[in-house]
A and B are shown apart, each in its own frame.
Chain A
Amino acid sequence: MVMVDGTRSALVSPELAPTAVVRGVSYAYGDGVNRKTVLANVDLVLEPGRFVVLTGHSGAGKTTLLTLIGAIRSLQNGHIDVLGIRLTTGAERQSRDRRRKIGFIFQDHNLFGAISVFRTLWLATELGNMPLSRSEAMEKALGILTRLNMAEHLHAFPGELSTGQKQRVAVARALMNDPKLILGDEPTASLDHASSMLVVNLIREHVLRNGASALIVTHDERIVEFADHIIRLEDGQMVQHK
């Protein structure tokens, strides 16, 4: 079901199943003497409609946790359910299906210079439940880009955009398929204050409207203010603040 209007917001209620459940997840890099435990028995529940900020000092394991939830990295211990689905280990196709349901925002925009903004966004919709026609995709892309103050760049190529503008395109791309889960790793690092606020507001609104959850790694105090929950990773353990 593709929701483009706001009718879904009424459905967001506490009884809805959590978007993601992390139980007893431990993770270690390396082997033998080089073995280094990064996550130790982490538990985390992401409720629908919540904007959650993940903090912690550098090397605390924030990125590692995001890659595990996002099925980019295989689990070693514990389990993670996303939208009620637990992956069988080694099932490439299952993890791909999970990733398709997630909106990923990275620190870098990673846009192909040869592909226009519109085509980048349209291409993302090929991973959605229903492929969008060109005009449907155009409407959807314009809707999101307008919110990010990027509408006039619909047909631009990345080379014609500033770093901050490219990053906003990457944010728009993550939202094209109405993901139920958004995972962001320092998504506003390259943005100025005004653009950061546009991005945060858009993600918060998306989360509320779609009953989705966002888990955003950031040190940006301006973003932390808007969080429904703030979670800190310390020594591989979760510490909830707010």
Chain B
Amino acid sequence: MNFVLKIWRQEGTGSGGAFSHYEVRDVEPTVSFLEMLDTLNEELTESGQEPVAFDSDCREGICGMCSLVINGQPHGPIPGTTTCQLYMRHFSDGEEITIEPWRSSAFPVLRDLVVDRSAFDRVMQAGGYVTVHSGPKPEPNSIPIEPEVAEEALDAACCIGCGACVAACPNGAAMLYTSAKVSHLALLPQGQPERYARVTAMVEQMEEEGFGSCRNYAECEAACPKEISIKFIGRMNRDYLRAALREPINPRGKMESQ
């Protein structure tokens, strides 16, 4: 198969970028999308041109490192699939393929197709945990959890943090990501003590990072390689509003001064 690639090239964060066109020939349909780019990069190197920078690591759809907006869709055209799991047989011979980086001001482009997603980590650091330190813990079977609840928590927790939801959202919102993280712990008994403090802190951080707000387009859900449901957004909204309107303000105030 042959393809024309139209790839966004950009030197660094501040510098401007532009599309470059490349041709790749005789690509096997069994080759993955990233392997096709690997081959392109080898050819570029051999001819003395700088290879295209793109992120990837596990190449099996779990680390969340790979990105790329392919023909206008984050992670390409196949639902529930990361870019690293995309194969060239999903494209038609001779096609022109446009490849762009994630676009969001919270994810500045670092180089070519590589973006900075550390905003996601800071949202987690703001409260995405249960405060427990290493050491003896209660016997887990002393707190039974209905399997359906554990499964739903896992549906949220299986987020790979790739940022496709933000990339897909015309509003640059990180609601699917944040809500999946919030809901994972909000659903489990272990997450209850910090439930409202957590949602407040994480939402505040999310906004501070410059993500946009949800308009309920559901593009995030469609782009999510783990097919995480937008139902978690409503769940988070509920918890957030509850925390804002009903829960005590600064519940830890007294404890912290102790």
Is B one of A's binding partners? no
Q: Which residues of A contact B (CB under 8 A)?
A: none
Residue ranges of B at the interface with A (Cβ–Cβ < 8 Å): none
